[in-house]
Amino acid sequence: MARPIGILMVCMGNICRSPMAEGALRARLEAAGLGERARVDSAGTSRAHAGQPPDERAIACAARHGVAIEAQRARALSVDDFDAFDFILCADRTVLHDAGIRKPRTAHGQVELLLDWAGVGRKDVPDPYYGHARDFERAWSLADAAAEGIVERIRQGRF
């Protein structure tokens, strides 16, 4: 078997969008029988929430979709991540910029927008942190669409 593809989901604090994206992707990979084909994690460009679980609203939103993310813990994006992961998928253009300037020139990980993988173009996953349950649902929907696109790429071997 080939080496698993390393996919790192990244948002600002690693307590809302990227934990939900990680959870959505893990769930879709398992449902498709492809769990062994990818190694998935999440991180944030900020260290502000390091060690904390996802926001309780993100946990509740994921749970409504049958996905448990409460065991995840926030961590900051590290320089080592750019070699440890093949794809660093960013929730929005600000995160994409922040991750891009941190990437060492010799690192192989590709820094891209998460929603490029959903087939919806260069769009951002809006940060639901200052919003309500519906904002978390919107972020989940977008992250799940990207997860579906990633699973399809893995299934077809398009990497």
Active site residues: 11, 17, 127
Cβ atoms of 25 and 42 within 8 Å: the answer is no
Residue 141 region by backbone torsions, left for phi larger than 0, else alpha for psi between -120 and 50, else beta: alpha
Point out which residues pair with 9 in neighbouring strands: 42, 89
User: What token pair was written down for 150?
Assistant: 């990633």
Alpha-carbon distance of 8 to 109, in angstroms, equals 10
Alpha-carbon distance of 24 to 17, in angstroms, equals 10
Alpha-carbon distance of 135 to 128, in angstroms, equals 5
The residue behind tokens 């600002």 is 12
